[in-house]
Amino acid sequence: MATARALAREAMLEEIKAAARRQLVENGAASISLRAIARELGIVSSGIYRYVASRDDLLTILIVDAYIDVGDVAEAAVRDKRGGVRAQWLRVTKAIRRWAIDHPHDYALIYGTPVPGYRAPEDTISPALRVSLVGLGLLTSADVVQDKGVTIPRSVHADFATIRAIAPNASDDLLSRALMAWTMLFGTISYELFGHLHNVIADYDAFFELQMGRAADLLFDGG
């Protein structure tokens, strides 16, 4: 059972995170200031360091929270197995887009422009992989993708070793098309959220479904 001290600490950390998210919404991640948060919460500036070691430490907490949120969304969507793997892909991608639209600043924090001077620690790797593992789980399902025997450059084959470590049965052809589909997913979402399709696309819902259907053709019908 948590002690009163632990509960108070947790409550204060949640207040700090909430204040940081307000700064994130108002001025972007690069503007997050521990001093400004301390002023807002009515604590001395040195007191905030009892809860977070630095601005980068607080950024890491926000980044991990965002990855956990979108990971939860993707994992919940993939558990619905109706209609087979193609339908699962479409549900997962739609759920990720919905999360991004509902949490645009969190999306920008983890999939947008890097924060100047910030280097993500290893703490972020495991949460960040959750969404990718959902996709790889679909793509490595039995008899999903036909290997076209595409020629992969040696250097790219070597690069794929990192992904192959978590998807050992995936062919180079599969990994190549999976990465193409993944960049289609996040590229389509980013173009929508960051305004790059303004005055080009009016029906974003229909356009997204079209693009994810094309990605499914590439992945599950052999391209």
Domains and CATH numbers, the chain: 1-52 (1.10.10), 68-220 (1.10.357.10)
Q: Say what the pLDDT of residue 147 is.
A: 64
- pLDDT class of 223 with cuts at 50, 70, 90: very low
Q: pLDDT, tens digit, for every residue of 105-148?
A: 999 999 998 999 999 899 899 999 999 989 888 887 756 555 66
CA 172 – CA 8 distance, rounded (Å) = 51
3 state SS of 121: coil
What's the burial of 195, exposed, middle or buried (CB within 10 Å: 0-12/13-18/19+)? Answer: exposed
pLDDT tens-digit map of 7-18:
888 999 999 999
Q: Over 80: is that where the pLDDT of 204 sits?
A: yes
pLDDT for position 163:
87
Query: DSSP for 136-164?
Result: HHHHTSTT-S--------HHHHHHTHHHH
List pLDDT tens digits, range 148-168: 667 899 999 999 998 888 888
Query: What does residue 117 show for φ and ψ, rounded to 5 degrees?
Result: 85, -10
